[in-house]
Amino acid sequence: MQARKLIATTLSAVVLGGMVSTTMAYAQTRGMERRDDRRDNRQGSRDEKAECKAGDENSRAECRQEKRDTKQEGRGKDESKPEGEQ
């Protein structure tokens, strides 16, 4: 009788532990992916601004706007559509 109780308790703990660890790992992975995407977007914006500044055809304001546009594209926003339509 006690052996069955011990087995049932152990099995319940293993199942519950597996469910909790899977849920936490999934949430952490998604957050890490979003952070990596943001870092990539920022680096792409920096690269584009550096290229713009290296060339003499654009003003500083135009380079800043290009950087902003690149960051917005990375966020998934399309400027050709009105807000709320995405």
Residue 85 resides in a domain: no
Task: Check residue 86 and give its pLDDT.
Answer: 43
Residue 84 resides in a domain: no
d(CA 45, CA 39): 10
Residue 65 resides in a domain: yes
Task: Check residue 10 and give its pLDDT.
Answer: 83
Residue 83 resides in a domain: no
Residue 50 resides in a domain: yes
- Joined together, the tokens standing for residue 41 give 């977007």
In this predicted model, what pLDDT tens digit does every residue of 11-23 receive, in sequence order? 777 877 776 665 5
Task: Check residue 13 and give its pLDDT.
Answer: 78
Please count the structural domains in the chain: 1
Residue 37 resides in a domain: yes
Helix (H) or strand (E) holding 45: helix 2-54
- The residue among 79 and 45 whose pLDDT is bigger is 45
Residue 53 resides in a domain: yes
Side-chain half-sphere of 82: how many Cα atoms within 13 Å?
A: 0
Residue numbers of the domain that contains 51: 2-74
Terminal Cα-to-Cα distance of the chain (whole angstroms): 62
| Backbone phi, psi, residue 4, to 5° | -65, -40
Residue 81 resides in a domain: no
